[in-house]
Structure 1
Amino acid sequence: MPVKFNADGLRDSLAPLLAHGSLSAEAQAYRRFYGLDLPNLGKPLHSWLGRFQVAGFDIVSQVWCPPQPVATLFLVHGFYDHMGLFRHVVEWAVGLGFAVVSCDLPGHGLSSGERASIGDFGDYQQVLQGLFAEAAALGLPQPWHLMGQSTGGAIIIDHLLHDTAQSSPAQGEVVLLAPLVRPRAWGWSKLSYRLLNPFVSGIARRFSENTHDPAFMPFLMADPLQPARLPTAWVGALIRWVRHIEAAPPSTRTPLIVQGEQDLTVDWRYNLGVLRGKFPGAQVLMLPEARHHLANELPATRAQYFRFIEARLPARQL
């Protein structure tokens, strides 16, 4: 399928998210390419695409809203990813009657910023707070649930550990899919950063098979919004962030953690140890056959962890 959208041009053409602006032909082509118009949903849906500004970035965001939504799900994608890779999760949540709100992180997808880079993980917290503010202005219904994949999970972890349970506007369930605390081969990553950072700004990205879905990797390789480099600035920001998280006191929040045992992207054994210490009430679902990108694993795997989540949601929301 030919790609008929340009990221910078599309972003510049969008109205503010709060304006519920009509979509241009280019924006409609973008949504069709990633299936974000949810053609298989089979029920009425109001959805739109827009932007807002925060932390010096122009952030592109989307909302999907069924008639009379019963709750809201905030969906936060991972490193190198963008909203276009999460249609399965969006379709599941909308099918439960949830409004869904998401955005492309700085340097990802349609949002502005150096590709896949960040100066400080604190910028991600400002983006999450900006997304909360947009949702509040739109009147999206409580309770507000949080779901993050990988680095998206890291952003939510940071929020939970450094905002008190009472101060967070998101008082619903928290779901962490293959959450990042530190990546696999962390010692080598830090050594490489120290050796390379004085001389280069980034290295070529290596793509890996991170799901069992045979269609996902070809789609990823053809995705026009995929970054081609790993910036050293992002690695430096991650090193500082890991120390920040490991020094944080425990939280009373009780996230649901879903982790694949064939994940070769994050150091999941170490990460689960840290997260069980930070969130003593966490519930963990281990998936022996799953790899890292759980949002795009095989349908049977997705169905398994969706059932796990649904069993822990209040009955009145199902």
Structure 2
Amino acid sequence: MHNFQHLEGLFRQAAGESSLSQLKPGDALTDAVHDYFRHYGLETLLNDTSEVHAGFIDTGRFALWCQVWSPPAPTGTAFVIHGYFDHLGLYRHLLGCLLAKGWRVVLWDLPGHGLSSGPRADIEDFDDYQHCLAHLQATLQAQGMAPTPWLGVGQSTGAAILATDALTRRETAGWAGIVLLAPLVRPWRWSQSSWLHLIASPFLKELPRKYRPNSTDEQFTAFLRDQDPLQPGRLSVAWITAMRRWMPRLLALEPNPLPTLILQGEQDLTVDWEWNLAVLEEKFPNAEIYRHPEARHHLVNEADPIREVLFEALDGFVDNVVERGQ
């Protein structure tokens, strides 16, 4: 399987004053990215957009792989933040849902994930994620590519990043609303794994990754395990250390009345979802919370019947965000 790492050199050669290049039919860049789009099913969404931009945004520390998908006359800009071990190529269902609602959609690979630079599945501090998000938003805003209102959508670690941003930057972050999908505050069985981390961290740098079916869509979980060349094969102990330092910082932040939707599966064995929801309900007192009894962790790639119900809740929330902004 090709790992698509050659795309960075091609996009950097093509980049002009803008960090991102528009993908036009027949262009060399469009042809180069075709296999990537096809492998992750993104090419099926090209008919739903008026234009697609892609490229690498430099933050000073990281080069972030970013795509901006735009319908005609976008309602606003939705920033999508993926979860740990993920990358933007896995988010076609959510991308299609947001495009259908008329939103310009910004997707990007976190540092150490997908095509972005950085040690694989690693981060020195969760604040690095916040810096990347703020830098990416400022870059796109300066280039006139991020019309308001702004909607944030995060899955798992992406939801943790988004929640931290909303609670830290507050009104200056510019969010009209945020959607937290299976949000991380602490992992499943953290009381046990926390002690293991304390014991092991001085001696181990990484652990073999164990693939668990985190969705009821068996085709998706098989794809992750066997057919996705961008999946990291190791769990970074330093990443767990960074998460451990981040947790008390989140808990110390003041609540924010920002319109918030939280979607959570009750069969989730990745995060400590009941504890997490109690924390986030306090941090976001206006949050709407929807729990699905059959959903597992990877909500954006759940089986169709489950995902359709979750996206109906998302649609309703997004409509309200638009109405409040008018």
Question: The TM-score by the shorter chain falls in which range?
Answer: over 0.9
**CA drift at 1:96:** 1.1
Q: Does 1:143 align with 2:149?
A: yes
Do 2:20 and 2:53's aligned partners in 1 also have CA atoms closer than 8 Å?
no
Secondary structure of 2:165's aligned partner: helix
Secondary structure of 1:20's aligned partner: strand
What letter corresponds to residue 94 of structure 1 in structure 2? L
Which of 83, 95, 99 is equivalent to 1:94? 99
Which of 80, 83, 101 is equivalent to 1:78? 83
Work out the CA distance in 1 between the residues paired with 2:123 and 2:49: 38
Deviates more, 1:39-48 or 1:303-312: 39-48
Work out the CA distance in 1 between the residues paired with 2:321 and 2:111: 36
Which of 102, 107, 115 is equivalent to 1:110? 115
Equivalent residue, structure 1, for 2:134: 129
Secondary structure of 1:173's aligned partner: strand
**CA drift at 1:306:** 1.6
**CA drift at 1:41:** 6.2
Equivalent residue, structure 2, for 1:295: 300
Which of 189, 199, 204 is equivalent to 1:200? 204
Call closer, same or farther: CA 1:208–1:193 in 2, change over 3 Å.
same
Question: Which runs of 5 or more residues in structure 2 are unaligned?
Answer: 24-28
Work out the CA distance in 2 between the residues paired with 1:314 and 1:43: 19
Do 1:14 and 1:51's aligned partners in 2 also have CA atoms closer than 8 Å?
yes
Equivalent residue, structure 1, for 2:4: 6
**CA drift at 1:55:** 4.7
**CA drift at 1:67:** 1.2
Deviates more, 1:184-193 or 1:286-295: 184-193
What is the count of residue pairs matched by the alignment? 312
Work out the CA distance in 2 between the residues paired with 1:239 and 1:54: 24
Do 2:20 and 2:57's aligned partners in 1 also have CA atoms closer than 8 Å?
no
Do 2:42 and 2:89's aligned partners in 1 also have CA atoms closer than 8 Å?
yes
Which of 220, 227, 231 is equivalent to 2:232? 227
**CA drift at 1:110:** 0.2
What letter corresponds to residue 143 of structure 1 in structure 2? P
What are the Cα deviations for residues 233-261 of structure 1, in whole angstroms up to 9, with x where unaligned?
Answer: 00000000001111112112131000000
Q: Does 1:312 align with 2:317?
A: yes
Between the aligned residues of both structures, percent identity stands at 41
TM-score (norm 1): 0.93
**CA drift at 1:288:** 0.4
Matches within 5 A, 1:191-270: 191-221=195-225, 222-270=227-275
Question: Which runs of 5 or more residues in structure 1 are unaligned?
Answer: none
Equivalent residue, structure 2, for 1:61: 66
Secondary structure of 1:311's aligned partner: helix
Cα RMSD between the aligned structures?
Answer: 1.8
Call closer, same or farther: CA 1:196–1:26 in 2, change over 3 Å.
farther
Work out the CA distance in 2 between the residues paired with 1:308 and 1:213: 20
